[in-house]
Amino acid sequence: MTVGATLHYRALERLYASAPVNTLFASKLSITGEGAASIAFEITPAVFHAAGAAHGTIYFKMLDDAAFYAANSLATDRFLLTTSFNLHFTRPVGTGPVTAEGRWISGRKRVFVAESRLIDGAGEEIGRGTGTFMRSRIALSGLPGYRVEPDEHR
């Protein structure tokens, strides 16, 4: 992994942490390499639907974010936008730790395709998704949360 790539990955992690929506969800993004991202979070009863399991909004948010950041790890200049996302619920999940794993599949110019899956604390898949992401006109360098800190690579 190059120094430039590492700086970009850490800046994307800061961007994720700075998003106001993430104050609603205790989660941590890790860019683990080119085209790969992981989000660790905890399911609590606060996100349950009436039948006592995690609401689908949690599945979508974490699957979309993991796939998005896996794709955006390949785009160092622009913020990507989700243009479509297909979601498959494999099984319900109650409380506990969950990890969203995202990986880039194809595309590097204008459109990117990435997939993701949710894994519960027992190692079982609880959902998966595939998304299409397009380069926007929004420069990453213009976003307040995206900060490249050159001293980090040491």
In a domain, 147, yes or no: no
Percent of the chain with pLDDT over 90: 90
In a domain, 31, yes or no: yes
Query: What is the chain's length?
Result: 154
Distance in angstroms (rounded) separating the CA atoms of residues 75 and 116 = 18
Query: The domain spanning residue 18 has which CATH number?
Result: 3.10.129.10
Domain that holds residue 122: 3-140
- What is the pTM (predicted TM-score) of this model? 0.94
Per residue in 33-66, pLDDT tens? 999 999 999 999 999 999 999 999 999 999 999 9
Per residue in 62-89, pLDDT tens? 999 999 999 999 999 999 999 999 999 9
Which amino acid is located at 142 in the chain?
A: G
Residue 54 token pair: 């995690």
Q: 126 with 118: CB under 8 angstroms?
A: yes
If one counts the domains in the chain, the total is 1
In a domain, 152, yes or no: no
Per residue in 105-126, pLDDT tens? 999 999 999 999 999 999 999 9
Residue 100 token pair: 């969203």
Residue 145 token pair: 């949360």
Where would I find the H helices in the chain?
Answer: 3-18, 56-72
In a domain, 33, yes or no: yes
In a domain, 18, yes or no: yes
**pLDDT of 154:** 47
